[in-house]
Amino acid sequence: MEELTVGPWRRPGKDRLYVNRPGAKGESVAWLDCRTGVVTITNREYEAAALAKIEEWCRTCGRTIPPRTVKPNAGPTRQPVRPPQPPSPPHTPSLPVLPPLTSADDLARNRPGAGLQSMIRADEQRHKWLVRVAAKLVGDSLGGEQRLKGLAGEEIVGGLLESLKPAGWKVLHGIPLPTGADIDHVVIGPPGVFTVNAKHHPDASVFVGDGAVKINRSSHPYLQNSEFEADRTARLLSRWCGFDVPVHPVIAVVGARKISHGADAQRVEVLDAALIGSALSARPALLSPARQEQIYRIARHRYVWSQLGKRNSRSR
Domain 103-109+161-306 = CATH 3.40.1350: yes
* pLDDT surpassing 70 at residue 206: yes
Alpha carbon distance 92, 242 (integer Å): 9
Average pLDDT value for residue range 255-278: 93
Task: Measure Cα distances from 13 to 16, 64, 285 in Å.
Answer: 10, 17, 33
Give the model confidence (pLDDT) of 35-60 as tens digits.
888 999 888 888 888 898 899 888 88
Q: CA geometry: angle at 171 spanning 104 and 95, to 5°? A: 65
Task: Give the residue ranges of DSSP H helices in 163-299.
Answer: 222-241, 276-281, 289-299
Q: What is the per-residue pLDDT for 271?
A: 96
Alpha carbon distance 70, 44 (integer Å): 11
Average pLDDT value for residue range 3-11: 87
Average pLDDT value for residue range 239-255: 96
Q: What is the per-residue pLDDT for 185?
A: 97
Extents of the domains making up the chain: 5-72, 103-109+161-306
Count CB-CB contacts under 10 A for residue 297: 15
Alpha carbon distance 309, 306 (integer Å): 9
* pLDDT surpassing 50 at residue 78: no
* pLDDT surpassing 90 at residue 11: no
Q: What is the per-residue pLDDT for 134?
A: 54
Average pLDDT value for residue range 15-31: 85
Give the model confidence (pLDDT) of 155-191 as tens digits.
999 999 999 999 999 999 999 999 888 999 999 999 9
